[in-house]
Chain A
Amino acid sequence: MKSSSCLVSLLTDDLLVNILDKLSGDDSATKSFRSVCKAFHQAESAHRTSLKVLRLEFLPTLLNNYTSVDTLDLSDCPRLDDGSIAALLGGDTSIDLSWTRRLRRLVLSRCVGLRWAGLELLLGSCTRLESLDFSSCGGFGDREAAVVSCVVGLKEIEMDRCFGVSDFGLAKIVVGCERLEKLSLRWCDEISDLGIDLLSKKCVFLKHLDISYTKIGGESIRSISTMQRLEVLAMVGCGLLDDVGLHHLQDGCPSLQVIDISRCNNVTSLGLTSVIRGRNNLLQLRAGHYYFELSTIVLNCFMGLNNLQTIRIDGAQVSEHVLQIIAGSCKSLVDIGFSKCKGVTDFGILQLVLGCFRLKILDLTCCDKLTDLAISAIAESCRNLLCLKIESCNMLTEKSFGYLGSCCFLLEELDVTDCSGVNDEGLRHISNCSNLKSLKLGHCINISDKGLSNIASKCSNMIELDLYRCKGVGDEGLAALAMGCKKLKKLNLSYCIQITDEGMQCIGYLKELSELDMRNLSKVTSAGFSYFASGCMKLAELDMKNCDNITDSGFLALSCHSKNLIQINLSYCRISDVGLYKLMGNLTCLQDAKLLNLTNVTMNGFDLALRASCFRLKKVKMLALVRSYISMETLNFLQARGCKIKWD
């Protein structure tokens, strides 16, 4: 014992830092590292730079321990409001607030309870902030934007879904934060061409602009085209944008590298042409969901895109000729998306992969003409493939997976949802890709516990597994999974109707599990569920809709153990007033609840449960007929806290 501790002390700080660098991202490993000895603990404390907290009350202690933290994520904090910010920063002068001056990035996404006063206090002390994310703060408006604009050093701002921010707020920000390099305005539908025009004139350093799902028109594009340094421009789902508007972009934005014009319904191939013509340095092109044929003019433009790395033209009409041209001219492609494209054939894929052998990501979702031949070509040529999506490719047989298993050893992500060719034999082949982190087997009705055991035994790095409606999967498979895939974080077992309490008990051994979908598991009772709940302490999201054999005792267990639960779907469950009250009251991180059709809950029960959790809730879904039974006070309080109530 003594000798080992001496050995440990021999490791220099530099070495420890190196080790920590390797461990980064693996929470449990870092945790073990920290508990080795004091020196390790100190090294870890000094090494950690980002912090995501669930409970605000621990924040001061954490921030004092981790002295290098420059990134703070408060997005999952319940109860974050002006008052708690004031308590955190103000009041007691003995509190060490040096962390505020260290912070470079602050994430306040979904902090719906926060308003300008609290924000002013917080941002006022974080003087060196460079990056701020306040997306999905539905209550944020121009006033809050004005507060943000006072942080002059900001380089990155994400304000997606801030529906209240108008041109004025944007004007405040662009005038205040002149050094802005990245700005995301997704869904800010109050922003108009005027605001964008001002932005283009004031923020000359801007490199990254996302104006997806806004109501901007051609005038904005004209303004944007004058931005010399712009590299990334995303305009997804801009319904007011048309070919004429995009034409302004033709000669502008000389530095542009990434363009996303997916889902712009009024743009045709003509608009696409004016966007990509002559852009030799373009790296990424995303123009999905058009549903039009790629004209020859567009193809001619493709020929000039020699440096293109990513191309996504989901939904377009392609032909073998198109694939040939893409393969012939864009030699550096690593990411290709032909999801739902019509006209993708084996021969086309053959030609494509011959040209683009560096391919890492290939999305062929719903290209249902593909056969084993195509997969064999992909497997043969693209040895570096990391991600393959072949959902609904029903012509594929187990042979395809044989090719994949024998060639693509680097494969990390495989989506074979709804591929009827996937069977136990296929899974055996797939399990050879031992680096798999994400495997989607939804609707694969031909697989059984045997196949799943194969996967579980070999793919120990698995993080996400989707077994949606895999009727053949039962308790044995889950047992194997619990033994093999210890790192599993995300699991979907919905409608795997064979699963009983035993299976649930096995899942309880997956200590890392944070998301579980278990809809309609009617063989699972409170006993198995309680066991699961007591095991998975890290559970953050749980969907247990229609699990009608789980009663209050199961829910009580959940309320005792899953203290980190953030999101829950309880619809159609047999929970009673007491169970719901306990659940909503005890789960101190719960922020999002779906409470439809709870037949055992009285109207009073809903009111009580909401009262118990109204400080934390950010989103609730309930039946509309419940509305009249919930007291005005509760409703008003929820609304005042920024909680979004959806009445179904």
Chain B
Amino acid sequence: MKILGQLDGQMNGICNAIRNCEWDPKVMLTNLSIMEEKIHQLQDLVHLIVGRRTEAVKGSEELAAQQQQLINADLTSIIVQLISTAGSLLPSAKNTFSSGNPLGSQLGQPGGIGYPSGSSITGNNNVNKVEDHSNQIDLIGNNVEEHDQKDEEEVDEGEHLPPGSYEILQLEKEEILAPHTHFCLICGKGFKRDANLRMHMRGHGDEYKTPAALAKPHKEMCSEAPLIKRYSCPYIGCKRNKDHKKFQPLKTILCVKNHYKRTHCDKSYTCSRCNTKKFSVIADLKTHEKHCGRDKWLCSCGTTFSRKDKLFGHITLFQGHTPAIPLDENKGMVDLSDHGEGNEAPSKVAQTDFDFSSNDFQNILDGKGIANDDTRIFSPLDFDTGSLGGFSDFPRPPFEDSASSLSFLISDACNYPRETGRSSISNNLG
């Protein structure tokens, strides 16, 4: 792929040369030597492939197809170059060329090699852009795989994109784990703030430098050229890694982040209720906590069930088995405020209680009255994409602590928000 990128760059150089000046034997010579170099490179590549095939006969078809496509692409670019070099000799072609006619429309008809007519709609502009890209890529130093223009038309939005039909981006481990929320759609780099991303985008080309682009989110820009991007996991040997035989790309940056954390990171978030389930993605923890104790149906024999009816079926079947009822909770007090929920009630009530109180508390602190519910606006810290409420990053107070029956509700109402409120206070003061 890398090679292809270089070739493309060179081809563009040639095109420029053709466009800029009249027929020049010197230029022609340079072009020819470049083409010769390319053919040699291609030859080396094919040699390499042949060597590998003899080594591992069982090589998967997918890999073979990939290689074939690679070679095809290279050949195509050589042919394109050849024709354009030859075309520059013809007066008529020269005219159309200088008038900015699409390169591909000419090529598509005689060659029938399948050079997509769609991609050439943007014509010369596109060529320029690609050039810019390659520059930028060097500049940023990100290992971004070059986009293969040829396949753009064949884009399949379905689940099984053919390999090579999309651009593969691979973020570094550090990049994935950084608590970023804004990602560059071109190179995948993450930023904490959108403003920083927009500053970064200026490096991707002049079109990002306009006041409009700097002021607004870049959505309008991408509508121009919706490039299909898929992501690769940087973990070598992972199925989501682009070098894997059965590589399955990830769809979005969020997917990359969640996948990497889930599969290749330590599970550092422990559920404060069951103290057993651990998660590496905070959103997973939140989802679990919503159902923790409720969806985890436990029998006295220790068997757990995902569904209540399964548990009851089990109890029906086995003599003497009963559903386990959590014992370490302060029942009495909470049942008064909520008769409805049985043994789940305490945690639930407590939860809603400090939810409200924390908001109230912060509203009072900020003097905003019934202000925004979003706790994030009060916090100077940047939270993970997964964290919905701001206070989730703080350790929850264990329910047992506030168990001294009477003060239960009150203590929650005053103690807890103070913890979350800390950030908001500091925010206001500083």
Chain A residues within 8 Å of B, Cβ to Cβ? 115-116, 138-139, 141-143, 146, 149, 163-169, 171-172, 175-176, 190, 194-195, 197-198, 201-202, 632, 636-637, 639-640, 642
Complex contacts, A175 vs chain B, CB 8 Å: 315, 320-322
| Given A168-B325, A175-B320, A642-B336 contact (CB < 8 Å) | yes
Complex contacts, A138 vs chain B, CB 8 Å: 335-336, 339
Alpha-carbon gap, A175 to B409, bound state (A) = 35
Residue B27 at the chain A interface, CB threshold 8 Å: no
Residue B309 at the chain A interface, CB threshold 8 Å: yes
| Given A171-B315, A172-B322, A142-B342 contact (CB < 8 Å) | yes
Tell me which of B327, B341, B345, B405 contacts A640 (CB under 8 A): B405
Alpha-carbon gap, A61 to B312, bound state (A) = 46
Question: Are the C-beta atoms of B316 and A168 separated by less than 8 Å?
Answer: no
Complex contacts, B321 vs chain A, CB 8 Å: 175
Chain A residue at smallest Cβ distance from B406: A636
Tell me which of A139, A166, A172 contacts B332 (CB under 8 A): A139
Question: Are the C-beta atoms of A164 and B315 separated by less than 8 Å?
Answer: no
Complex contacts, B316 vs chain A, CB 8 Å: 197-198, 201-202
Tell me which of A116, A164, A171, A194 contacts B345 (CB under 8 A): A164
Complex contacts, B315 vs chain A, CB 8 Å: 171, 175, 198
Complex contacts, A632 vs chain B, CB 8 Å: 410
Chain B residue at smallest Cβ distance from A144: B331
| Given A142-B325, A143-B325, A171-B323, A194-B332 contact (CB < 8 Å) | no
Chain A residue at smallest Cβ distance from B299: A171
Question: Are the C-beta atoms of A163 and B340 separated by less than 8 Å?
Answer: yes
What are 7 A-B interface contacts by the 8 Å CB criterion? A141-B335, A167-B323, A171-B323, A172-B323, A176-B322, A636-B406, A639-B337
Residue B333 at the chain A interface, CB threshold 8 Å: yes
Alpha-carbon gap, A175 to B312, bound state (A) = 11
Complex contacts, A139 vs chain B, CB 8 Å: 332, 335-336
Chain B residue at smallest Cβ distance from A146: B325
Question: Are the C-beta atoms of A164 and B339 separated by less than 8 Å?
Answer: yes
Q: Please provide the 4 A-B residue pairs with the shortest distance between their CB atoms, ordered closest to farther.
A: A166-B342, A163-B339, A168-B323, A175-B322
Alpha-carbon gap, A190 to B333, bound state (A) = 19
Given A169-B325, A636-B406: 11 more A-B contacts, CB < 8 Å: A139-B335, A163-B340, A164-B339, A168-B325, A168-B342, A169-B342, A171-B323, A172-B322, A197-B312, A202-B316, A636-B409
Residue B308 at the chain A interface, CB threshold 8 Å: yes
Residue B142 at the chain A interface, CB threshold 8 Å: no
Complex contacts, A149 vs chain B, CB 8 Å: 322
Please give the number of chain B residues whose Cβ is less than 8 angstroms from any Cβ of chain A in the complex: 27
Q: Which of B385-415 contact A (CB under 8 A)?
A: 405-406, 409-410
Question: Are the C-beta atoms of B312 and A143 separated by less than 8 Å?
Answer: no
Alpha-carbon gap, A172 to B315, bound state (A) = 10
Complex contacts, B333 vs chain A, CB 8 Å: 639-640
Alpha-carbon gap, A172 to B325, bound state (A) = 9
Chain A residue at smallest Cβ distance from B297: A168
Alpha-carbon gap, A138 to B312, bound state (A) = 25
Minimum CB–CB distance for A202 against chain B, Å: 7
| Given A166-B343, A175-B320, A642-B336, A198-B325 contact (CB < 8 Å) | no
| Given A164-B342, A198-B315, A202-B316, A639-B323 contact (CB < 8 Å) | no
Minimum CB–CB distance for A176 against chain B, Å: 7
Q: Encode contact with A along B203-231: 1 for CB under 8 Å, 0 otherwise.
A: 00000000000000000000000000000
Q: Which of B307-353 contact A (CB under 8 A)?
A: 308-309, 312, 315-316, 320-323, 325, 327, 331-333, 335-337, 339-343, 345
Alpha-carbon gap, A139 to B315, bound state (A) = 26
Alpha-carbon gap, A589 to B308, bound state (A) = 44
Tell me which of B336, B339, B341, B343 contacts A143 (CB under 8 A): B343
Alpha-carbon gap, A139 to B405, bound state (A) = 14
Question: Are the C-beta atoms of B322 and A141 separated by less than 8 Å?
Answer: no
Minimum CB–CB distance for B403 against chain A, Å: 12
Alpha-carbon gap, A139 to B312, bound state (A) = 24
Tell me which of B320, B322, B327, B335 contacts A164 (CB under 8 A): B335
Chain A residue at smallest Cβ distance from B332: A115
Complex contacts, B312 vs chain A, CB 8 Å: 167, 171, 194-195, 197-198
Alpha-carbon gap, A639 to B120, bound state (A) = 77
Chain A residue at smallest Cβ distance from B316: A201
Alpha-carbon gap, A175 to B345, bound state (A) = 23
Complex contacts, A142 vs chain B, CB 8 Å: 325, 342-343
Alpha-carbon gap, A169 to B326, bound state (A) = 12
Complex contacts, A637 vs chain B, CB 8 Å: 406
Alpha-carbon gap, A165 to B339, bound state (A) = 9
| Given A168-B323, A636-B406, A190-B340 contact (CB < 8 Å) | yes
Complex contacts, B410 vs chain A, CB 8 Å: 632, 636
Chain B residue at smallest Cβ distance from A642: B336
Question: Are the C-beta atoms of B342 and A165 separated by less than 8 Å?
Answer: yes
Specify which of A141, A166, A172 lies most central, judged by the most chain B CB atoms within 10 Å of its CB: A141
Minimum CB–CB distance for A140 against chain B, Å: 8
Complex contacts, B308 vs chain A, CB 8 Å: 167, 194
Complex contacts, A141 vs chain B, CB 8 Å: 331, 335, 342-343, 345
Minimum CB–CB distance for A620 against chain B, Å: 14
Complex contacts, A202 vs chain B, CB 8 Å: 316
Alpha-carbon gap, A642 to B340, bound state (A) = 15
Specify which of A163, A164, A167, A640 lies most central, judged by the most chain B CB atoms within 10 Å of its CB: A164
Chain A residue at smallest Cβ distance from B405: A640
Alpha-carbon gap, A172 to B311, bound state (A) = 13
Complex contacts, A165 vs chain B, CB 8 Å: 342
Alpha-carbon gap, A149 to B312, bound state (A) = 17
Question: Are the C-beta atoms of B340 and A640 separated by less than 8 Å?
Answer: no
Minimum CB–CB distance for A123 against chain B, Å: 16
Alpha-carbon gap, A172 to B343, bound state (A) = 13
Minimum CB–CB distance for B374 against chain A, Å: 31
Specify which of B325, B331, B335 lies most central, judged by the most chain A CB atoms within 10 Å of its CB: B325
Complex contacts, B327 vs chain A, CB 8 Å: 143
Minimum CB–CB distance for A118 against chain B, Å: 10
Chain B residue at smallest Cβ distance from A194: B312
Question: Are the C-beta atoms of B332 and A640 separated by less than 8 Å?
Answer: yes
Alpha-carbon gap, A632 to B408, bound state (A) = 13
Complex contacts, A115 vs chain B, CB 8 Å: 331-332
Alpha-carbon gap, A512 to B94, bound state (A) = 123
Alpha-carbon gap, A115 to B345, bound state (A) = 16
Complex contacts, A190 vs chain B, CB 8 Å: 340-342
Minimum CB–CB distance for A423 against chain B, Å: 50
Chain A residue at smallest Cβ distance from B321: A175
Alpha-carbon gap, A149 to B323, bound state (A) = 12
Complex contacts, B336 vs chain A, CB 8 Å: 138-139, 639-640, 642
Complex contacts, B343 vs chain A, CB 8 Å: 141-143, 166, 168
Complex contacts, B337 vs chain A, CB 8 Å: 639
Minimum CB–CB distance for A316 against chain B, Å: 35
Chain A residue at smallest Cβ distance from B324: A168
Specify which of A146, A149, A202 lies most central, judged by the most chain B CB atoms within 10 Å of its CB: A146
Alpha-carbon gap, A163 to B316, bound state (A) = 24
Chain A residue at smallest Cβ distance from B409: A636
Question: Are the C-beta atoms of B309 and A194 separated by less than 8 Å?
Answer: yes
Alpha-carbon gap, A139 to B335, bound state (A) = 6
